[in-house]
Amino acid sequence: MRPSLTFREAEVLKFISTFWEQEGRSPSTAEIAKGKCNNIQVMVERKSRNTAWVIVRSLVGKRYLTEHWWNDRTFWRVAQ
């Protein structure tokens, strides 16, 4: 059983899932921090990319996201 999520973690996880569905790719940390998908504000904008990175790392650690690498770029997928 996976650990429970905080409100912010759940919000970012839903954003990544929505971004994958609409854009067909993983969002960058800058895109996660902005919180926009197709120029629509989906979640609250974060003040820095580092905040988004910390939340994503937490989601990877809790096994809600899987991390993949391609040409020195990290991308994340929602774990099944």
pTM: 0.86
Q: How far is CA 24 from CA 9, 62, 67, in A?
A: 21, 24, 16
pLDDT tens digits, residue range 16-40?
Answer: 999 989 988 889 899 999 999 888 8
Q: Which is more confidently placed, 77 or 51? A: 51
Backbone angles phi, psi at 62, to 5 degrees: -85, 0
Distance CA 18, CA 3 (A): 22
Distance CA 12, CA 62 (A): 13
The confidence score (pLDDT) of residue 76 equals 79
Distance CA 21, CA 13 (A): 13
